[in-house]
Amino acid sequence: MRIPHLNLSIGDIILLLFIMGFASIAITPGVVGAPMNETTHYPSVREPTECTNQSVLEHSPTYLPDPPSGTPPTHHVIVTYSHIENTSRYRITFDIPANRTSGIQFELPEQAALVAKTGFESKQGVWNWNKSTRTPSAVIDTNGTSSASLRVRGPLVQFPHGEEWLLAPSVNLNGKNISVRPATAGAIGEQYLYLGPVSVHRNTVGCQEQIYIEPAAAPENSATPPAVLDLLNESARRLDVGAADATVRIFASPTIPEGEHPGWASKNEFVAPAQFHVDHVGRGEIWIHEYVHTRQDFQATRGLQWITEGSAEYLGRRLQMELGLISPREYDVLMSQYQHVPNTSSLNRAPPTSNRSYHWGAAVLSQVDRQLTGQNASVGDLLKTLNEDKQVGRRDAEQWIGRHQNSTSNTTEPYDFHEATFSSSYPQPAYMHSTRYPQVLRAFIFHFGIGTLRGLAGVLSLLFLIKYYQSKTTAKVQE
């Protein structure tokens, strides 16, 4: 069957209706859902003014500037790190001055393997210098098998390496007056290290210095260091949560590490893939997510363990949107990821690094933030309270939320935080728009972004207009 004079089949008409619906979803702004979009919930208030230096313990090593410059004092023990090419191993070699007689030891990162040593003996998990040589050394393997992986803030991860570079966890050096340096090129941090050619970029926000270690092995289409540092600078100004470190090191990985969560953090340092641009949907928030971990200084007990990843995931998405790097629609698509986690258990029973902690936790905290809108309180304030209390549990968070919800002037019904965390039912996020998308559109936006969706809608519409013009021309010729 065909439509007279238009040369259009029923299939063409169905396609037209599909394109019109597709284009309307992609182009129209949607209905703003109250009250989430009424104000900027995380304004650029102030920069960190009170920072903690991670290297304040008496036996902490002295870390040379990034990159190393100058000559260490002659009385210092010099520890040199060298990559064993095309492997996940590195060697640490100690140069001990003649006046040093004791107090030199190191500990392996969790689950790393010691594959060779000279001049060290183990005692209760600590490797101590046995004085048999003044140039003792050790070879550490950080990858290859599950026993050589490292579990940090996040799931079990495999550290990447190339023929001439290595990204790995640092050993924990104990002793006075110790300086570290790479054998050729690289950057040595307190938690992580990168061995290979690098460029080091610095940014200061208040009392905090942010150091971005850019590997020469990163792909050409990687995020630019200024873009990442600008993002972290603005994030620091919007996260008035305390627990700021004097130095934050950001190690960009040349490749995307295997696993569901390609970034990880420990204390004042974190790792993220260099290829993840700050405005990528589903990827760009990783820089904020891992930075939030450097601002978490609490230990969550059972029942609240999910909040470590949940708050980092929520704030990463929220700040990425408030900074204009993704649209509210794209934010909604990210928040809808909770649907991909099976509802086989409740949030309060979720392991701290599970997908439930990430996605369900973010959904719950978005609802908490919605309740706090308009009363100068936010999830950031909750995080600040947890940092002050140090050891926190479910009741601490529940009571804080209850107090602040009761003081709000909002007329909406208070959010049942207890029910949301104890129920195995899917938690509904607080979306920015009331419009909902079919699964296929959510997947498309997640992988390609709203801009690509709008472009595709425009192309399809143009193709239909061409088809329509051709049909009219054909009809006239036939007449």
In a domain? residue 195: no
pLDDT band at residue 36 using 50, 70 and 90 as cut-offs: very low
Lowest mean pLDDT among 298-307, 312-321, 454-463: 454-463
Same domain, yes or no, for 110 and 137?
yes
Same domain, yes or no, for 181 and 169?
yes
pLDDT band at residue 220 using 50, 70 and 90 as cut-offs: very high
* pLDDT value of residue 29: 38
Residue 461 is part of which domain span? 2-30+448-478
Lowest mean pLDDT among 115-119, 324-328, 345-349, 408-412: 408-412
* pLDDT value of residue 70: 61
In a domain? residue 423: yes
Task: Tell me what the mean pLDDT of segment 322-343 comes to.
Answer: 89
Task: Tell me what the mean pLDDT of segment 180-190 comes to.
Answer: 91
| Of residues 448, 426, 238, 437, the one with CA closest to residue 329 | 437
Task: Tell me what the mean pLDDT of segment 99-125 comes to.
Answer: 89
| Cα separations in angstroms, 158 against 88, 151, 264 | 10, 9, 11
Q: Convert the pLDDT of each residue in 53-68 to its tens digit.
A: 755 333 345 554 454 5
In a domain? residue 162: yes
* pLDDT value of residue 31: 30
* pLDDT value of residue 319: 96
Same domain, yes or no, for 241 and 374?
yes
pLDDT band at residue 32 using 50, 70 and 90 as cut-offs: very low
Q: Convert the pLDDT of each residue in 251-289 to its tens digit.
A: 999 998 776 788 989 999 999 999 999 999 989 999 999
Same domain, yes or no, for 367 and 464?
no
In a domain? residue 126: yes
Same domain, yes or no, for 271 and 354?
yes
Find out whether 277 and 239 touch, Cβ atoms under 8 Å. Answer: no
> Residue 117 pLDDT > 80, yes or no?
yes
* pLDDT value of residue 38: 43
* pLDDT value of residue 39: 46
Q: What is the CA 34 to chain-centroid distance, rounded? A: 28
> Residue 355 pLDDT > 80, yes or no?
yes
In a domain? residue 205: no
High-pLDDT (> 70) share of the chain, %: 73
* pLDDT value of residue 37: 43
Same domain, yes or no, for 332 and 429?
yes
pLDDT band at residue 138 using 50, 70 and 90 as cut-offs: very high
Question: Which residues have CB under 8 Å from 261's CB, separation 6+?
Answer: 154, 155, 157, 353, 358
pLDDT band at residue 35 using 50, 70 and 90 as cut-offs: very low
Same domain, yes or no, for 82 and 49?
no
In a domain? residue 206: no
| Cα separations in angstroms, 36 against 109, 318, 371, 404, 416 | 43, 11, 9, 17, 18
> Residue 111 pLDDT > 70, yes or no?
no
Q: Is 356 exposed, middle or buried (0-12, 13-18, 19+ CB in 10 A)?
A: buried
Counted domains in the chain = 3
pLDDT band at residue 110 using 50, 70 and 90 as cut-offs: confident
Lowest mean pLDDT among 9-18, 144-153, 196-205, 418-427: 144-153
Radius of gyration for the chain, computed over Cα atoms and rounded to the nearest angstrom: 27
Q: What is the pTM of this model?
A: 0.83
> Residue 339 pLDDT > 50, yes or no?
yes
Same domain, yes or no, for 159 and 245?
no
Q: Is 477 exposed, middle or buried (0-12, 13-18, 19+ CB in 10 A)?
A: exposed
In a domain? residue 212: no
In a domain? residue 229: no
* pLDDT value of residue 153: 42
Same domain, yes or no, for 288 and 418?
yes
pLDDT band at residue 432 using 50, 70 and 90 as cut-offs: confident
Task: Tell me what the mean pLDDT of segment 358-370 comes to.
Answer: 94
* pLDDT value of residue 65: 46
> Residue 158 pLDDT > 60, yes or no?
yes
Provide the mean pLDDT of the chain: 81
Same domain, yes or no, for 72 and 184?
yes
Lowest mean pLDDT among 115-129, 213-227, 437-451: 437-451
Length of the chain as a residue count: 479
Q: Is 228 exposed, middle or buried (0-12, 13-18, 19+ CB in 10 A)?
A: buried
Same domain, yes or no, for 242 and 368?
yes
* pLDDT value of residue 449: 56
What distance in Å separates the CA atoms of residue 61 and residue 56, rounded to the nearest whole number?
A: 10
Domain harbouring 130, CATH code: 2.60.40
Domain harbouring 367, CATH code: 1.10.390
Same domain, yes or no, for 384 and 455?
no
* pLDDT value of residue 202: 93
* pLDDT value of residue 30: 35
DSSP string, 85-99: TTSSEEEEEEE--TT
What distance in Å separates the CA atoms of residue 306 and residue 362, rounded to the nearest whole number?
A: 10
Q: Convert the pLDDT of each residue in 18-27 to its tens digit.
A: 555 555 444 4
* pLDDT value of residue 203: 93
Which residue(s) pair with 248 in the sheet?
210
* pLDDT value of residue 116: 93
pLDDT band at residue 364 using 50, 70 and 90 as cut-offs: very high
Task: Tell me what the mean pLDDT of segment 72-93 comes to.
Answer: 89
* pLDDT value of residue 101: 85
What distance in Å separates the CA atoms of residue 302 and residue 300, rounded to the nearest whole number?
A: 7
